[in-house]
Structure 1
Amino acid sequence: MEYVIQIFINAMTMIAILNPFGNVPLFIGLTEDMGKITRKKLFKVIVITGFAIMATFALIGSFMMHSFFRVEMKEVKIAGGIILVVVALKNLLFNEKHKKKNEPQEELTEEEEIKQGIIPMAFPMLVGPGSLAGVLLISQEAGGISSVLSCVVVFVITHLMFSVTDIIEKIFGELVLFVLSRVMQLFIMAVGIKTIISGVTMVVQGIGG
């Protein structure tokens, strides 16, 4: 019983770091041009991808980073932060809806839309450097298997959150969500800049120390 309780405690910690509740409006904004069926498929892929990343890090993350790729968390933070900033700038300045009507637009297939959505939504927005660092710490304390079971709980809850996006849209309406999505891009950029600064700070401290 104590083992099960610990799994749920670790799961609640991961949920606090992942913040799927806060990501829902962000993901709605990033998928506003998608059809409902494509969006649902994308959210399912995001949840599966996010779980795969977290579970892998719980089991062999430390080995992969230090022995295989020879990188540390500071490099992951800087790279993830840059991705977020670029995505936010792209959505703010070059959004498809701002193009002229007579300007030819490339039609993406459903598969292409899903592929483009995995990055940055699965990583680094849902599962970011902070989440990876958190699951590494939890796996070191509780063990890899226990951490993976906690990840299962986390992503079941995350999937349930993403499954109600249509209801959220109906409540708030298209105009409110459009304005919210533009505002959220600024927050995405701010999170990206914060992540970059954190990574650079770790580099500077490593040089100074």
Structure 2
Amino acid sequence: MIVQTFINFYLKTFFILTPFFVLSAFISLTKDFDDTEKKQTAVKVTVGVLISCFIFFLFGKYIFELFGITLDAFRIGAGTILFLSAISMISEKADTKSQNNSRDIAIVPLAIPMTVGPGVIGMLLVTGAEAGTISEKVIIGLAILLAVLSVGIILYLSSSVKRLIGAQGLIILPKITGLFVSAIAAQIIFTGIQNFLHLG
């Protein structure tokens, strides 16, 4: 049961972080960087994503209490945003044309909002509020940690990954990821609606 929960949340978080969409953006935004700069940027992105994810995961419950939002209402809202993000991933290329001349792109826009966007924030808030026990929070927290590190490794090895999957692969993989994310979003929405109707 523990292993199943860990694997389930690892895979869910990994796909919601849209690693291949982020990879294509990372490659485009760092095309003028040397190999050392790319790796340093990948490390910064990973740290930024990690901190952001755990803030939303650990303090989501208090955010709900502060604003008086029910968990199921947030599920429906977060699921909808996540679903729209998935549609955008499937139908469009990564929006990397608006590059600025700054080389400090690790936190904005790569970590936030490209990796940790509204859909990811919504999922983490819901997951954190749902986790009732300390042991559950630890298991899910470790799954989130591993998922973020997995994305970080992909970015760290971006040059090798680009050679491995090719330009066409960078177009196709975000679309496949988008399909998985849309299914996760639909499940979150259906759970929220189902619980809302039962409560009603």
TM-score range with shorter-chain normalisation? 0.5 to 0.7
Residue pairs, 1:32-51, within 5 angstroms: 32-35=27-30, 37=33, 40=39, 43-51=42-50
Cα distance change, pair 48–88 in 1 and its aligned pair in 2 (3 A): farther
Q: Secondary structure at the match of 1:111?
A: coil
TM-score with structure 2 length normalisation?
Answer: 0.63
Count of residues in correspondence between the two structures = 189
Deviates more, 1:154-163 or 1:55-64: 154-163
Cα distance in 2 for partners of 1:178, 1:145 equals 34
- Uncovered stretches (5+) of structure 2, i.e. residues with no partner: none
Alignment partner of 1:115 is 2:108: yes
Deviations 1:91-121 (A, max 9, x none): 37x774xxxxxxxx87442335851332132
SS for the counterpart of 2:79 is: helix
* TM-score, normalised by the number of residues in structure 1: 0.61
CA RMSD of aligned residues (A): 4.3
Q: 1:74–1:203: 8 Å Cα contact kept in structure 2?
A: yes
Which secondary structure state, in structure 2, belongs to the residue aligned with residue 160 of structure 1? helix
Name the counterpart of 2:61. Answer: 62
Which range moved further: 135-144 or 52-61? 135-144
User: Which structure has the larger Rg?
Assistant: 1
Compared with structure 1, are the counterparts of its residues 62 and 116 closer, same or farther at alpha carbon in structure 2 (3 Å cutoff)? same
Q: Distance in 1 between matches of 2:187 and 2:141?
A: 30
Unaligned runs of 5+ in 1: 1-5, 97-104
- Residue identity over aligned pairs, in percent, reads 9
**Secondary structure of the corresponding residue to residue 21 of structure 2:** helix
Q: Is the 8 A contact 2:83 2:182 kept in 1?
A: yes
C-alpha displacement at 1:47, in angstroms? 2.4
Counterpart of 2:178, as a letter, is: I
Work out whether residues 50 and 123 of structure 1, in 8 Å CA contact, stay in contact via their aligned partners in 2: no
8 A Cα contact 1:14 1:134, kept in partner: no
Deviation of 1:163 (Å) = 1.9
The answer to whether the Cα contact below 8 Å between 1:47 and 1:155 also exists between their aligned partners in 2 is yes
On the 8 A contact 2:76/2:192 being kept in 1, the answer is yes
After TM superposition, the structure 1 = structure 2 runs for residues 98-109 of structure 1, keeping only pairs within 5 Å, are 107-109=100-102
